[in-house]
Amino acid sequence: MNKPLRRVAIFCGVLIMALLVRVNWVQFVQADEIKNHDKNRRVAIDRYSHPRGNIIVEGKPITGSTETTGSDFKYKRTYKNGKMWAPVTGRASQAFGGTQLEEIHDSILTGNDDRLFFNRTIDMLTGKPKEGGNVVTTLNARAQEAAFKGLGTKKGAVAAIDPQTGAILALASTPSYDPSLIAGNSKDDEKNWVALGKEKNADEPMLNRALRQTYAPGSTFKVVTAAAGLESGRYDIDKSTGIASPFQLPQSTHELGNEGNDARCDKATLRVAMQWSCNATFAAISNDLGNEEMIKQAEKFGFNKEVFTPTRAVASIYPEDNAPQNAQAGIGQASNRATPLQMAMVTAAVANDGKLMKPYMVDSLEGPRSVVEQTEPEEMGQAVSAPNAKKLQDMMETVVNEGTGSNAQLPGVTVGGKTGTAQRGEENKDNPYAWFISYAKTESGSPVAVAVVVEDSNAKRNEISGGGLAAPIAVDVMKAVLDSKR
């Protein structure tokens, strides 16, 4: 072979080697990345080439699929009462992707999950079309409806939990949106998407306030401060705390008291302080215990870390802070922030004799012919000792029977609760948040713990209170759960 031909042959050999290396790199290293890439349209076309499996509540689907025309996506998602269930389902949109259960369990719903391999094989051999699996939730339809209707046109959220298992029973957020409006990829879907976005809609209907929004928890946090006080051994429910009202904040000339209740709150017992929501008592306890002890107690209830239900809930924060700020954080103000789910967890732990269960909203994942995954209740820890949890229950039941939470009374049912009116804005100029946390108790323990926050309403400022706005919603949710168990 002459020299020029030899060079051409070597060059061609190098090209062939480079091609072989590239082919193998793509096939064995990049295959999964390319297959699952968001912009791989073949994946999206396959995802919507057959009906998705469904999200199930109490044996009934709250989702569906409908055939479409004029697109290479054969089916699109539909939702039943989409606004009410959106904080649970999230969305599955041909144009805008998925969120929450639709996204987290997309592989089950599309039928592509590896655990459905045998189902797919049988379908292929028998000539049946591909089927998606189902996501079976823990939600209680009546409780969800009560929460959603109770919030109505008000901006806010509700979270309800079974304290004994951690199963989420209701998860409502308002204003909400219908995911069906953005499930396709038409011009109308695009127009609806823009209208729902934060830039065009200040109410943020796509924000899941129950899991993703933190608020100052206000006086509902006094349950946590009381737990810290009891666990320290320095306080008991029917002994005078010796704390004067008003209380002068440390390193400050500012005095913290309660409008009209200072006489009742002066040197009050823990029970009386909880009954009338005495700011001075709980701010002084938080100051007495110190920032480190308060953080430790808050974290036992789940603060300062994200919670996965499996949908992610942002971390509620009990902050590292100086003495005056820590005193105010002890009454749920300053930099203290909590999600409605977090305050439902606090209530659930108290109602469950101190044991905190991990909240979850998926009971099982089902293939077309079998259950592929079953969720088992999981203990997160002992937030407070059982004897002290009983004392907290005693105090919260006094709040409902004889205190600020009387609007939560249910005939023939033991109810414990705590009101909260969280101040907002510089010099408290904005309308406050109205909170209420509560549980109902039967002979077999508590089947439901609820947290309600009303962020905004048409009520006048002096009419906004946890007992007035939020407690009636909590009552309807508790009643719905109790009725469904009869």
Task: Name the residues annotated as catalytic.
Answer: 219
Helix (H, G, I), strand (E, B) or coil at 386: helix
Strand partners, 434: 421, 454
Phi, psi dihedral angles at 175 (to 5 degrees): -65, 155
Strand partners, 171: 159
Residue with tokens 């203990």: 379
- DSSP class per residue in 265-332: HTT-BHHHHHHTT-HHHHHHHHHHH-HHHHHHHHHHTTTTS-EESSSEEPPPB-----HHHHHHHTTT
Q: What is the DSSP letter of 416?
A: E
Cα–Cα distance for residue pair 161/183, rounded to 1 Å: 30
- As a three-state string, the secondary structure of 67-109 is ECCCCCCCEEEEECCHHHHHHHHCCEECCCEECHHHHHCHHHH
Please enumerate, as own/partner, the contacts of 420-424 that have beta carbons within 8 Å and a separation of 24 or more.
Answer: 420/217, 420/218, 420/219, 420/220, 420/221, 420/332, 420/466, 420/470, 421/218, 421/219, 421/464, 421/465, 421/466, 422/215, 422/216, 422/217, 422/218, 422/219, 422/332, 422/333, 423/216, 423/218, 423/333, 424/216
Radius of gyration of the chain (CA): 27
Six token digits for residue 11 = 């060059």
Burial of 115 (0-12, 13-18, 19+ CB in 10 A): middle
Q: With left for phi above 0 and alpha for psi between -120 and 50, is residue 274 left, alpha or beta? A: alpha
Burial of 485 (0-12, 13-18, 19+ CB in 10 A): exposed
Cα–Cα distance for residue pair 418/224, rounded to 1 Å: 11
- DSSP class per residue in 325-358: HHHHHTTT-TT-BB-HHHHHHHHHHHHTTTEEEP
Q: What is the DSSP letter of 411?
A: T
Phi, psi dihedral angles at 358 (to 5 degrees): -70, 125
Q: How far apart are the first and last CA of the chain?
A: 94
Cα–Cα distance for residue pair 321/234, rounded to 1 Å: 22
